[in-house]
A and B are shown apart, each in its own frame.
Chain A
Amino acid sequence: MRTICLVLSLLAAVPASAAELQVFAAASLTDALKEIAPEYEKATGDKLVLNLGASSTLARQIQEGAPADLFLSADEAKMDGLEKRKLLLAGTRKSVLSNTLVVVVPVDSNLKIAGPADLVAVRALALAEPQTVPAGIYAKEYLKSKGLWSKVIDRVVPTENVRAALAAVESGNVDAGIVYKTDAGISKKVRIAYEVPKAESPNISYPFAVLAGSERKEAARKLLHYLHSPPALAVFRKYGFLILE
């Protein structure tokens, strides 16, 4: 009798489902997610494993069968790719956040960027890989819209993801870089030389979704819902993300 009570109480103490969720997220969301995750873990008992990188790399990994529960992408195209392959859980896709493009320079640099045309004079310009990574694609779109892409292309140093572009600017090995405002915000080693006005910027949006292959769909949905909710959005806003309504 006593043994049964003991076992029952032990079972009651253990949460109904302590899920471990694999969250594949765009690199630009790193700091915000690292702040949101512990709070969520404490509240729900679920464990979040963050796989951060370029959305293009992550999408590729998901296509190849990597075990992801959530995908937080920095552009619609990567999510479209997965949707076309029927890898998304129907009804869960929603675009939540937006961002701003900025030109950053090393904090001790004297470089003046009054407008995008000044980028032509720069010797080395770091961008996230403009063929695949959202941040790079956005930057290329922007420069193309200004008629500057062909003039600037020779100086472009493509990097693996947007944080790598930021790091390149921090190291001083490039003269400038185009990253998200949220990235510039977390670094003390760069300063914003120019902010791209919203009107001139391409549409930046971050779609979030649960993946069809997730083995913990309930827990994943719960997390997704949380990421749309006010407490999470407040954190995103704090880091400089724009909230899409």
Chain B
Amino acid sequence: MKLVIRDVRLPLAHFELRLDVEITHQVTALFGPSGAGKTSVLDLIAGLRQAPSAYIELDGRVLTDTSARKEVPARDRHIGYVPQDGALFPHLSVRGNLLYGNKGDTSLDRVTGVLEIGHLLDRRIGDLSGGEKQRVALARALLSSPRLLLLDEPLAALDEELKMRVLSYLQRVRDELRVPMLYVSHTTDELRALCDEVLVLDRGLLRGRGEPRELFAAPAGASHDPD
């Protein structure tokens, strides 16, 4: 997987987001305090937001090139998105949500097996617990056969025990389904268990990158940026 992000200039509320980076690892974390611009980066990559200047290329395919006025619409990017609150469709059943983007090339059984949600298929969204909703959102994105999966703080709203469980599911996605992921977080806890590389973002700029153990010497518990 090779994701090229260049010449990004996006004015946000208090600062301008600027990014020039190449991502090649299977699981990369985008780490930084709240308001650093992390969600905006995901939105740009997914094609849900446009910047005055940006160049985005995934696996050799140009998705955004403002200088050439090229913008591939989100629906054609094959980039999965798991937003912070899951954003499940409340009027569809779990099955309806899961199959929404599925064209048959990824197996429902396989994904529901990995994430252990097979027994939830006919439930209504409103009946699911927090952890179940996260897994369904994750499965839904996976079932659209994405080339890249974007996750926006998937563990933020969960309690400790649930965090560990969902984390292990993410590891299974990484190991068994082998889908590349770009994972946003403002806590360091799960990064070492999951990510190959961490990009540190603060106030719209990339402050550093490296392996988790290099950047976060202190043991789990800290939740502020190391800079």
Do the two chains touch directly in the complex (Cβ atoms below 8 Å apart)?
no
